[in-house]
């Protein structure tokens, strides 16, 4: 037994119980969020913003405490080289940034799919209905098959609590 723990017994203190909660270390890499591009905009300063159909409502981690992600175009082969862009959410808020300095093809366009990796640990559990946006589904994918674990919220789900 380490000396410091032994000292606690000498002082009649209970030996602490050590527990480990690995959480994110186990499930983070298992989660990938797939967004659809809804717009691409160049600022006056030359920065390129790729807007997706999600954002801080389904993943508040970047805005809350600076979580960093990487992103990649999926579903088609690009015809242009990568460039540095900022992937932003649909909420038009200053803090609605999902991926800063992402490398995406210069020909990324509305309708494309963008995968954001390592969102699995707390992504869905922290999601909200900010701006009355419905929460996305959670889909398990393995061995060539996909199945829904949590269904997408419906408009009826949102309105069910409204007693107006």
Q: Return the CATH number at 102.
A: 2.40.37.10
Question: Do residues 57 and 130 lie in contact, with contact meaning Cβ atoms separated by under 8 Å?
Answer: yes
Each residue's pLDDT expressed in tens, for the chain with a length of 164 residues? 556 655 665 677 777 788 887 776 777 677 899 999 999 999 999 999 999 999 999 999 999 989 999 999 999 999 999 999 999 999 989 999 999 999 999 999 999 999 999 887 677 889 999 999 999 999 999 999 999 999 999 999 999 988 98
Phi-psi region of 33 (alpha: psi -120 to 50; beta: other; left: phi over 0): beta
For residue 93, is it within any domain? yes
Q: Does residue 17 form part of some domain?
A: no
Residue 1 belongs to some domain of the structure: no
Q: How far apart are CA 64 and CA 87, in angstroms?
A: 16
Q: Is residue 11 part of a domain?
A: no
Is the overall model pTM greater than 0.85, yes or no?
no
**Residue numbers annotated as active site:** 92
Residue 39 lies in a domain: yes
The residue segments making up the domain with residue 55 are: 24-126
Looking at the 3D structure of the chain, how many domains does it have?
1
Q: Is residue 87 part of a domain?
A: yes
Q: Is residue 90 part of a domain?
A: yes
Residue 10 lies in a domain: no
- Concatenated DSSP letters of 113-131: EEEEES-TTTTTTT---GG
Kindly calculate the radius of gyration of the chain based on its CA atoms and give it in whole angstroms: 21
């Amino acid at each position: 037994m380490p000396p410091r723990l032994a000292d606690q017994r000498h002082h009649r203190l209970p030996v602490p119980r050590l527990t480990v909660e690995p959480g994110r270390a186990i499930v983070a890499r298992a989660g990938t969020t797939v967004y659809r591009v809804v717009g691409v905009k160049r600022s006056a300063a030359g920065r390129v913003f790729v807007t997706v159909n999600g954002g801080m409502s389904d993943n508040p981690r970047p805005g809350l405490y600076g979580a960093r992600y990487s992103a990649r175009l999926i579903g088609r082969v690009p015809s242009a080289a990568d460039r540095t862009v900022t992937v932003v959410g649909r909420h038009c808020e200053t803090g609605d940034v999902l991926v800063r300095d992402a490398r995406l093809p210069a020909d990324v366009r509305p309708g494309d799919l963008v995968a954001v990796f390592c969102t699995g640990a707390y992504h869905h559990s922290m999601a909200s209905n900010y701006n009355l946006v419905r929460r996305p589904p959670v889909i398990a994918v393995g061995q060539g098959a996909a199945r829904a674990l949590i269904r997408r919220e419906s408009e009826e789900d949102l309105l069910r609590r409204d007693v107006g």
